[in-house]
Amino acid sequence: MIANSSSGAAFSGALTPRYTDQDTWRHVNNSRAYQLHIEARMQALVHRFGPDAWFSDAERLRPLRAITQFRAMSFYGSDIQFSVTLIGVDRDCVQFRSELHQNDQLVGIQDIWLGAFLKHERVPLPDDVYRSFRADVDAAPSAMPDENYSHYAEDFSRFPVLRELTPRYADFDADSQRSEAALARYMEQARFGTLQSVDMGDLGLLIAALDITFLHYRASSTPVDLVTGVSHVGNTSFQLTGGARSRHGVHAIANSVMVVVDLETNRPAPLTDDIRGQLEKLRL
């Protein structure tokens, strides 16, 4: 359904997590939760622009920046209710916010800024797209929050961990470009490559937030370099900054907030001196 809200047009519906969306903790994996936001957004766009809006041989809306908060675990066996709200639009960019609820609990929020791309280059939003959004919201997109990680994209040699990834056919989207979902998975794989070397003892880790800046979507079959490093260490959490680069340049760079948890209670737990010492060796 679609309805007016104080912020613009809001579209809502339901999604069903799949068995294969589960991770080793038996909840919906964070990259799959990210994909639920993609699906919600695409359904909203299809509702607005028609059944062919999911693909394009002309201009295509693609993310510039996505800030995702993982508020609670979600699980297989129960539908997830979603809402997608149009926040603002100008000639260059449109902003949405999507929320996911399961069993009446907020499990995820994503703020995303989309730009139009044509043949891999940024272009203004097409007139009909701009007019459609503008008819529902008379506001410009919010300014993107300050981020302190994009400068790391200038020199991948600064990262303490570098691994090579072989692109897969599944990384292509319906427009034969590197997909948004694939780039989010690359960020997950970059995190995993770093955290493999950290002995957490009897504690666990959860991702609380993921902030990705997307730079390009050019696809190729050549290897992708994944890099990561620790950019901040707190009391119960730390931040990983990572990126993905191919022969076309840096695809994306991201900041991930990781929370240390007690495995029995799933509540945040203080970093031990041992964990803190291991993280310091992985500092950017």
Residue 116 is part of a domain; what is its CATH number? 3.10.129.10
Least confident of 1-10, 145-154, 244-253: 1-10
What pLDDT is attached to residue 6?
43
42 plus 162 within the same structural domain: no
**Helix, strand or coil for residue 212?**
strand
What pLDDT is attached to residue 5?
42
pLDDT tens-digit readout, 14-51: 999 999 999 998 999 999 999 999 999 999 999 999 99
pLDDT tens-digit readout, 58-70: 899 999 999 999 9
How many angstroms separate the CA atoms of 221 and 223, rounded? Answer: 7
pLDDT tens-digit readout, 124-164: 999 999 999 999 999 999 999 998 898 888 899 999 999 99
123 plus 216 within the same structural domain: no
- Count other Cβ atoms within 10 Å, centred on residue 139: 14
8 plus 140 within the same structural domain: yes
Number of domain units in the chain: 2
Domain boundary among 77, 112, 145: 145
What pLDDT is attached to residue 4?
40
Q: In percent, how much of the chain has pLDDT > 90?
A: 88
267 plus 202 within the same structural domain: yes
Burial degree of 128 (CB within 10 A; 0-12, 13-18, 19+)? exposed
Average of per-residue pLDDT across 94-107: 98
What pLDDT is attached to residue 93?
98
231 plus 282 within the same structural domain: yes
123 pLDDT tier (thresholds 50, 70, 90):
very high
What pLDDT is attached to residue 236?
98
Average of per-residue pLDDT across 241-267: 95
235 plus 198 within the same structural domain: yes
Query: Which two structure tokens, joined as six digits, stand for 215?
Result: 């730079």
Quick check: pTM over 0.85? yes
Domain that includes residue 186, residue range: 148-284
pLDDT tens-digit readout, 192-210: 989 989 999 999 999 999 9
Cβ within 8 Å of residue 239, ≥6 positions away: 230, 231, 232, 233, 255, 256, 257, 258
238 plus 184 within the same structural domain: yes
Does residue 7 surpass a pLDDT of 60? no
Mean pLDDT of the chain: 94
Encoded amino acid at 49, one letter: F
Q: Which of 180-184, 190-194, 265-269 has the highest mean pLDDT?
A: 180-184
Cα→Cα distances 215→87, 120, 143, 145, 244, Å:
22, 10, 18, 17, 10
The answer to whether the Cα torsion of 47, 127, 96, 58 is positive or negative is: positive
Average of per-residue pLDDT across 156-175: 94
- Count other Cβ atoms within 10 Å, centred on residue 244: 26
